[in-house]
Amino acid sequence: MQFTVAIDGPAAAGKGTISRALAAHFGFAHLDTGLLYRAVGRRTLDGVPAVIAASTLRISDLSRTDLRTQEVAQAASEVAANPQVRAALVAFQKDFARREGGAVLDGRDIGTVICPEAEAKLFVTASAEIRAHRRWLELTQAGHDADEAQVLADVKARDARDAGRADAPMKQAPDAILLDTSDMSIDAALETALAHVRDRKERHA
């Protein structure tokens, strides 16, 4: 069975948590597309040319524990500017989405560019203030000295970049349901997402 769940939305809205939970509940494979460019960037730091790194990327490359460093983030930003790298990673995502057994992909342009034909689509969001507070809590609980006002400024700046870029801007697909988690518990948000995907699966059967 091929069944794709496309989940888009800004940073710290909860889409990763919801995506992983949906995949676990339905037995689907899960892909955090935000790791793709980091994985390619990491491989370039190991000496692999960017286009080869992207065209030979494996799922196992996304499980590396060293993808969250600043060095990798910089390398990811550099490879993302390469059209051949972007084309290879688009193909990677499309192949993953149509794998047998079902797939959940979360990112910024899944429902609009990567998988416009996805059987279920969600756009998960929350106010910038709420998302910044969540990110600030994550940072402080991890032992980082973070300023919440600066985190909010960073969140707003990233939102503007993601929504304003010429290539595959972040936006809600016309047929995606909007899930605003600003005033929702994670359990309530997940139940709404589960109900939507369950309904779409029944229609698809």
Write the DSSP assignment of 140-189 as a string of letters: HHTT----HHHHHHHHHHHHHHHHH-SSS-----TTPEEEE-TT--HHHH
- DSSP label at 110? I
Q: Name the nearest CA neighbour of 89 among 39, 159, 162.
A: 39
Model pLDDT for residues 138-176, shown as the tens digit of each residue = 889 988 888 999 999 988 988 888 888 777 888 999 999
Point out the annotated binding site for ATP. 9-17
Q: What is the pLDDT of residue 99?
A: 94
Whether 134 and 188 map to the same domain: the answer is yes
Q: Which residues carry a binding-site annotation?
A: 9-17
Question: Is the pLDDT score of 5 beyond 90?
Answer: yes
Residues 52 and 126 in one domain: no
Banded model confidence at residue 27, pLDDT cuts 50, 70, 90: very high
- The CA-atom distances, in angstroms, between 42 and each of 57, 61, 156 are 11, 9, 27
Q: How confident is the model at residue 100 (pLDDT cuts 50, 70, 90)?
A: very high
Domain that includes residue 94, residue range: 33-100
Is residue 81 very low, low, confident or very high in pLDDT (cuts 50, 70, 90)?
Answer: confident
* Whether residue 37 is found in the same domain as residue 23: no
Residues 186 and 143 in one domain: yes
Has residue 54 got a pLDDT over 90? Answer: yes
Chain segment 109-124, per-residue pLDDT in tens: 999 999 999 999 999 9
Same-domain check for residues 18 and 72: no
CB atoms near residue 77 (< 10 Å) = 12
Number of H helices, E strands in the chain: 8, 5
pLDDT tens per residue across span 127-137: 999 999 998 99
% of the chain surpassing 90 pLDDT: 74
Helix (H/G/I), strand (E/B), else coil: 43? helix
What tokens were used for 198? 């369950």
Domain count, the chain: 2
Same domain, residue pair 178 and 81: no
| pLDDT over 80 (residue 205) | no
Check whether residue 87 and residue 186 sit in a common domain: no
Evaluate if pTM is beyond 0.85.
Answer: yes
Question: What mean pLDDT is reported for the chain?
Answer: 92
Looking at the fold, whether 78 and 107 belong to one and the same domain comes out as no
State whether 122 and 203 are in the same domain: yes
DSSP classification of residue 60: G
- Work out the pLDDT band at 43, boundaries 50, 70, 90: very high
Q: For residues 77 and 160, state if they share a domain.
A: no
Instruction: Give the domain-ending residue among 100, 122, 143.
Output: 100
